[in-house]
Chain A
Amino acid sequence: KAGVTQTPRYLIKTRGQQVTLSCSPISGHRSVSWYQQTPGQGLQFLFEYFSETQRNKGNFPGRFSGRQFSNSRSEMNVSTLELGDSALYLCASSLAAAVSTDTQYFGPGTRLTVL
């Protein structure tokens, strides 16, 4: 079974631009979560989508948004990029079939550099 895939793997943008990142979850997984990882802050939760609905959100400004499509694929958008948005953006999917067994599987990440 194929793992979580993320595109693109690397991105370079300038301040003020916007960016869209894409994530395809493991086949059959219905939940997709997004994280930002930086050396100083570690892994920080952005938001989670399930059945095309955002059901959980972390403490990030409104410039960070996302959506999920009917095939569970998800996109994350960051508008008006700032230098501090440079990070590894990770997508994780989970089956969400039973609370007791639910866990997350990560993609390789998209490394975003803002100049």
Chain B
Amino acid sequence: QKEVEQDPGPLSVPEGAIVSLNCTYSNSAFQYFMWYRQYSRKGPELLMYTYSSGNKEDGRFTAQVDKSSKYISLFIRDSQPSDSATYLCAMRRGNNYGQNFVFGPGTRLSVLP
């Protein structure tokens, strides 16, 4: 079993829809959680960073963390064609610096006009 699993997609939604992207993880040592957006042929871009259970909102994006269930989600409200990209969840153990980040495989999202 991989440390981080992510819905593979691809996911296609109409413009204006609410999008839900999800990751599960197996290691309870993960304490810090991130969502990245990656456009085709570009490097990943940091969208959200959270470290506690609950919700964090930033504009149209809401990151949700449930540490008891080892489950994180990213919600996109009023989705736009410009949101079409691959979304990667990432997480890191929290005890010291010498720990690498672990990424999910990514979910490709297409928002249709």
Contacts and interface: CB of A to CB of B under 8 A. Distances in A.
A and B pair up: yes
Contacts of A104: 34, 46, 90, 101
B109 interface: no
Contacts of B36: 106
Interface string A6-48: 0000000000000000000000000101010000001101001
A55 B94 contact: no
B106 A56 contact: no
A73 to B, nearest CB: 17
B94 A99 contact: yes
Interface string B84-99: 0000101010111111
Q: Size class of B's contact patch?
A: 20 to 34
Contacts of B101: 33, 45, 92, 104
A35 B92 CA distance: 15
A50 B103 contact: no
Given A90-B44, A99-B94, A58 B104 contact: no
Contact of B97 (A31, A35, A92): A31
Interface in A83-115: 90, 92, 96, 99-100, 102-109, 111
A58 B100 CA distance: 8
A99 B44 contact: no
B49 A42 contact: no
A33 B103 CA distance: 13
Contacts of B97: 31, 50, 55, 96, 99, 102
B32 interface: yes
Given A31-B97, A56-B100, A102-B32, 19 more contacts: A33-B101, A42-B104, A42-B106, A43-B44, A48-B100, A50-B97, A56-B99, A92-B101, A99-B97, A100-B32, A100-B51, A102-B97, A104-B34, A104-B46, A104-B90, A104-B101, A106-B46, A108-B42, A109-B42
7 closest residue pairs by CB, A with B: A106-B43, A43-B103, A42-B105, A45-B100, A55-B98, A106-B44, A108-B43
